Amino acid sequence: MYTTGEITMSRCSIKYLVYSLGSCDETADHLYTLYETKSLTDKKVYEYFCEEYDHLGKMINNFIKSVENTHKTDRQVSNIK
């Protein structure tokens, strides 16, 4: 059975993970803006960071799914007991 603290912690964890995913997307958008406005002119640097932020976003997204699935699985197991 979950205690109130465990449920709150899980929700908070997911909340801040979603914030981090949003920040990652926002940074990628700023990178795009810098390149389009010619403030960043090195195409290799731009492409490198685009790939890195894309990869980071996928990693954060997969981690969010993992935390959610673990939370659901733990909850189902505790309901069986």
pTM of this structure: 0.75
Instruction: Provide the residue range defining the domain that includes 51.
Output: 4-80
Structure tokens at 73: 């699985």
Of 13, 17, 18, the residue nearest 74 (C-alpha): 13
Tell me the pLDDT tens digit for each residue of 17-51: 999 999 999 999 999 999 999 999 999 999 999 99
Please tell me the number of Cα atoms within 13 Å of 43 on its side-chain side: 0
Q: Which residue has the tokens 């403030």?
A: 39
pLDDT value of position 11: 72
The CA distance from 42 to 27, in Å, is: 17
> What's phi and psi for 6, nearest 5 deg?
-65, -40
- Single-letter residue type at 28: A
pLDDT value of position 1: 43
Number of domains in the chain: 1
